[in-house]
Structure 1
Amino acid sequence: MRAIGGLWRWRHNPLRRGTDLAEAWVALAAIVLIVAVVPLVGVAVGAAAQSALQQSVRDQRAARHEVAATVVRKLALGPMDPDPETAAGRDAHSRVMANWTAPDGTSQHGAVTAALKSPVPGDHFTIWTDLHGRTVPRPLDGATATTHAVLAGFGVVVMAVGLVEGGRRLIVWRMVLRRYVRWDRAWDKAGPDWGRTGAGS
């Protein structure tokens, strides 16, 4: 609103400088970009991210399978266990040696993370594997994908607003610098006659 008011105020003002009007136009252009264009860009980026992430969800659900595994024995955890899942939820997860059958029918055996607090041999739990029984992370779910898409769109909006405002400030700063240069030149011309009677007449 200040930009519109600035344009109106400087419209027929005899004291108006070219930079005053240009500064008001730059502010108005920035407002239009922020209000009308930036949200559309954010929506477009969010929609594109949503489409890509939902495709990833479908692909992962097709390629990853939840299978039942049986505990053979519990494994001791080292002090520097690199598995982020066990590091984040050490109390609720345990490292075990287990057996499972892959979706392709082959028998598998190996060390996996079980969602069991105190596993004992014979306990059953589920793990995610590929078609050949190799363990893989849990597939991305639709709600998480949507959340990531919304955050991507919002992040683009924030970044675009920052770029528009930064560009506006840079342009205005350059205008002010040029204005100061012109003022210095005008003062230099008036300087030798400053204070004399009848100077400038």
Structure 2
Amino acid sequence: MRAAIGLWRWRHNPLCRTTDLVEAWVALTAVLLLCLAVPLAGWAAGTSADASLQRSAQAQQRERVPTVARVVRPADTGEARPSGQRTVETSGERRLRPAVVASWTAPDGTPRTGTVTTRRELADPGDHFPLWTDRTGRAVTPPMHPETARTHALIAGLTVALLSGLLVESARRMVVHRLTRRRYARLDRAWAEVGPDWGRTGTGS
């Protein structure tokens, strides 16, 4: 940052090295990217994600139908589970949302029975609970809420902006590191030339 601020002052400074000017321009470019390009990238990513998620949420709203299911009995251990592959997460979810055999009516009016999950306080036989199905009557997860889609899009935009900022700063640090190594290399060469005569009377005369 100081290099960018001092860029104007260094233009006619005889002590200014080429690497100093390069470092200043790199710093100034990084500042402009962080202030302009990074927010724009985050906004573009968030807007694109929001549009895609909103379309998905609207499609789910059209394709999924709410109904009311009735608990027939608790699901047996060997019965097919609605969550598919068993993992630590699904095991924990089943403790909070136990699997039950329930009956409901499909959108076409036909009765259906299957294994689904519900809240523990609604897991007794005869209890009724809300259930979402697709157009064929198969139990599915509830459709995504528009606000949930917007939240996911916001997170996506912030993530892209953060990653873009880290990329810009990493590139700036890499360039500065190489410039610093080049300065040290030049100093070593200069010292190797004048070092043996350093402090001797008449040196350079």
| TM, length-normalised to structure 2 | 0.87
**1:89–1:120 Cα change, 3 Å:** closer
Is 1:94–1:118's contact at 8 Å kept on the other side of the alignment?
no
Q: What are the superposed Cα offsets for residues 122-180 of structure 1, whole Å, 9 maximum, x if unpaired?
A: 22212111111211111111111101100111111111111101100100110111111
Shift of 1:40: 0.9
Q: What are the superposed Cα offsets for residues 52-83 of structure 1, whole Å, 9 maximum, x if unpaired?
A: 000110111112111111111123679xx948
Q: Which 10-residue stretch deviates more, 133-142 or 69-78?
A: 69-78
Is 1:69–1:98's contact at 8 Å kept on the other side of the alignment?
yes
Kindly report which structure 2 residues correspond to 1:10-25, keeping only aligned pairs within 5 A, or say none.
10-25=10-25
**1:27–1:151 Cα change, 3 Å:** same
1:190 aligns with 2:194: yes
Is 2:94–2:117's contact at 8 Å kept on the other side of the alignment?
no
Kindly report which structure 2 residues correspond to 1:29-108, keeping only aligned pairs within 5 A, or say none.
29-75=29-75, 82=86, 84=89, 87-88=92-93, 90-91=95-96, 93-108=97-112
Is 2:3–2:20's contact at 8 Å kept on the other side of the alignment?
no
Counterpart CA distance in 2 for 1:99 and 1:25 is: 69
Counterpart CA distance in 2 for 1:163 and 1:15 is: 32
State which of 110, 118, 133 in structure 1 corresponds to 2:137. 133
Q: Which runs of 4+ in 1 moved over 6 A?
A: none
Taking only aligned residues, the RMSD between alpha carbons, in angstroms, comes to 2.2
**1:192–1:120 Cα change, 3 Å:** closer
Counterpart CA distance in 2 for 1:173 and 1:6 is: 19
**1:72–1:134 Cα change, 3 Å:** same
Instruction: Quote the sequence identity (%).
Output: 51
Counterpart CA distance in 2 for 1:126 and 1:49 is: 30
State which of 172, 175, 179 in structure 2 corresponds to 1:171. 175
SS of 1:117's equivalent in the other structure is helix
Counterpart CA distance in 2 for 1:8 and 1:199 is: 37
| AA aligned opposite 2:185 | V
| TM, length-normalised to structure 1 | 0.89
Is 1:42–1:153's contact at 8 Å kept on the other side of the alignment?
yes
1:181 aligns with 2:185: yes
Q: What are the superposed Cα offsets for residues 20-77 of structure 1, whole Å, 9 maximum, x if unpaired?
A: 1111111011000000111111111100000000011011111211111111112367
SS of 2:19's equivalent in the other structure is helix
**1:106–1:3 Cα change, 3 Å:** farther
